[in-house]
Amino acid sequence: MHATHLSTPGDTSRAHFPLPHNALKHRLHNAAERFFLLLAFSFVLFLPACATLPDVQYLNTSLSPNLTPTVTTAHGTLSAKKTSALLAKRWLKAPIDINALATLEEAATGTPLIAGNKVVLLFDGPQTILSMIDAITQAHDHINLETYIFDQDPLGQRFSDLLIAKQKEGVQVRIIYDSVGTIGTPATFFDRMRDAGIQLVAFNPINPFARVGRWRINNRDHRKILIVDGKVAFAGGVNISNTYSNGSLFRSGKKNEDKIGWRDTHLKIEGPAVASFQWIFLDTWLKQSKEDLADRNLFPQLTPTGDEIVRVLASEPKGDYAIYKAYILAIQQAQKSIHITSAYFVPDSQSIDALCKAAQRGVDVQIILPGVSDSSLVIHAGRSFYTQLLESGVKLFELQISVLHAKTAVIDGVWSTVGSTNIDTRSFMHNNEINLIVLGEPFGQEMENAFKEDLRDSKQIDIEQWVKRPNIDRIKEWFARSMGYWL
């Protein structure tokens, strides 16, 4: 029987939990990805050095922000006077100066805020899947789906059948799928959808001759986006795979050690911000496909549907590193708390430095990391940073039993982000990623509540026990960290 190992730091014992078939498939996806990425690595060994992230050590003191952030709405960009009035009303009781953070973030990313949105926090795969299926079922004009993994399994087949049915009803369906993330999915699975009239494009094909131009095997599309009729969008960490059919123990008092669920987070967005997700999808489509877009109402008139103020950030290789800058800046500006949940944690030196400095100046820095994962290499790479973080006062926790796949953060209870971006070099430099930032206390409180519930099923890493861990674990950590750039 295949098993994954639940490791207790400082203890050589192992608790064994069966790894379900779905989780095993996800592990094979990751194994295939690493094989091809290491293959790409072999092609660039002759380069003098790896690419590097921009210098953001003093980002918070080097920017020249405006007095007020730029805010767009369904009716256009607000004047400075109207912006001040809106933000003063919305952020009146905030524990920190959100306006200052918002203006700095705009200066760093070049992306305005968008007001008038409804954002729903979706916990785990089952809730996300049901919400996405409901939106697809109600589609009338078009469906745009961008995903890293699209498996040919019961869930993938369910989505495929539903999308084909909608295409036959006259709804134009477009799908962007990553060619490494779907390495185990038969071509016939996509051919069936294509034959039904669905437009599909494989992102950066593995075959170097499949698309004219530079072969970019190391650059992957890690986004998970669904836009329906240009009016509702979904984004987060959930792929189209049966792996996500089983939820974690989140908000459940039942603990079944014979079945490992997946802990993930996704968002449903309605309002003016949906247009940003649509633009991002279409930009990727036009860069990857020569197929003409069917004539559809891609940008319908959007009206305010809620009061959330958000920022939509997308990143791609050799871009402006907007998500990376936003993360670092929020950490640098943190005054009270930094609560991060990270599935694949292989941070660069600047991220580590920002987290350590925050803890040293008295900020409550807590990070939930995987205790169970589909990638032991990534776990060991992340653990190689534990000593430095713990010695600086960062509190580390490992989620038990459930496989952690969420990528979220809430800072000072008012700056929240959910998306596809892991805190690692691959996400920040080599992948197409997308994150939504929500500014304000109400949503921040929802994020804090979710974080606290994850803490309930996590085990804190004790530094005294950690330094006593076996030497074999230290060797694994050293080796994994040496491969960190490529993980």
Select which of 26, 142, 166, 222 is catalytic: 222
Among residues 127, 470, 448, which one has the least CA distance to residue 268?
127
Question: Could you tell me whether strands 232-236 and 265-270 are parallel, antiparallel, or unpaired per DSSP bridges?
Answer: antiparallel
Residue 268 annotated to the active site: no
- 313 with 434: CB under 8 angstroms? yes
Question: Measured in Å, how far apart are the chain's first and last C-alpha atoms?
Answer: 27
- 223 with 235: CB under 8 angstroms? yes
Select which of 26, 142, 166, 224 is catalytic: 224
Select which of 229, 264, 424, 454 is catalytic: 229
> What is the Cα–Cα distance from 430 to 392, expressed in whole angstroms?
29
Among residues 269, 467, 281, 297, which one has the least CA distance to residue 386?
467
Residue 255 annotated to the active site: no
Q: Is 46 exposed, middle or buried (0-12, 13-18, 19+ CB in 10 A)?
A: exposed
Select which of 405, 430, 454, 476 is catalytic: 405
Long-range contacts of 157-161 (CB under 8 A, 24+ apart): 158/133, 159/133, 159/240, 160/189, 160/192, 160/193
Residue 254 annotated to the active site: no
> What is the Cα–Cα distance from 419 to 435, expressed in whole angstroms?
4
Select which of 412, 424, 454, 457 is catalytic: 412
Exposure of 420 in the CB half-sphere (CA atoms within 13 A): 26
Residue 26 annotated to the active site: no
Residue 222 annotated to the active site: yes
Sign of CA dihedral 54, 59, 63, 65: positive
Q: How far is CA 171 from CA 164, 176, 368, in A?
A: 9, 17, 41
Select which of 231, 407, 430, 476 is catalytic: 407
Residue 229 annotated to the active site: yes
- 118 with 306: CB under 8 angstroms? yes
> What is the Cα–Cα distance from 388 to 481, expressed in whole angstroms?
14
Q: Kindly list the catalytic residues.
A: 222, 224, 229, 405, 407, 412
